[in-house]
Amino acid sequence: MKRMPLAAAGVGLYLGLLLLHNLLIVAFTGPALKRQYSQDAFAFARMSARTVAEAYDSYYASGYYKFREMVGEVMRMNPDLLALALVDVEGRVLFDSREFDEGKPDRPGVIDNPEMLAAVKGLDITCRMTRGEDGSGRLDIVVPYLEEWGRHRVSVRYIVSYRSWADQWRGLWARILLAGLVSLALGTGIILLACSRLNGSARR
């Protein structure tokens, strides 16, 4: 008669430990994945900024299709890159990748946000989290381009989405859920079998 209460207590304890284990995995793995994703985006921006700036100087005015090809290759290297722009230290947007789809603007845009303007003028790479119009998280990265003699005329701005990180996050949850269900089924079976044998031994 004690078999069912004992089995229920064993299954409940096992379920609680399993839930705690999975929550700890999520708590430690999720932020680590996001941090790694941000570091990868940061490294990509730092390595590709010179290519974008030099392509602009060489081809934007005199060989636009070559410029478009070079910048397109850079953008295809990171599928999460939503847009990139070249901004001078006065805040004028010299180029925005959205013009590939929308056409060149009649007049260059101007950045008037003090924080962004300070990032464009600065000599350090900056990275901040922002929200898109749909509320999704994004990385806004600004990389200064220094010419051969250290002159700083422009910076390259990258807008990177968290799409790949979100996909990895959902995949992590799916794997944890599947592993948890399998572990729960196996653990419950083992506990019931052990309780059954204990109960048989007690009767003898």
Give the tens place of pLDDT for each residue, 151-173: 899 999 999 887 665 555 566 66
Q: Where are the domains of the chain?
A: 3-25+177-199, 46-165
Give the pLDDT confidence score for residue 48 in this predicted structure.
Answer: 92
pLDDT, one tens digit per residue, over 87-101 is 999 999 999 998 888
The alpha helices in 77-162, defined as continuous H runs, are 99-102, 114-121
The per-residue pLDDT of the chain, averaged, comes to 77
Residues 84 and 46: beta-carbon distance below 8 Å: no
Q: Please state the CATH superfamily assignment of the domain spanning residues 46-165 in this structure.
A: PAS domain (3.30.450.20)
Tokens linked to 40: 């990868």
> With pLDDT > 90 as the criterion, what percentage of the chain qualifies?
24
Give the pLDDT confidence score for residue 84 in this predicted structure.
Answer: 92
pLDDT, one tens digit per residue, over 25-80 is 666 665 666 676 777 888 889 999 999 999 999 998 888 889 999 999 999 988 88
Residues 95 and 56: beta-carbon distance below 8 Å: yes
| Backbone phi, psi, residue 144, to 5° | -70, 140
Q: Is the pTM of this model over 0.85?
A: no
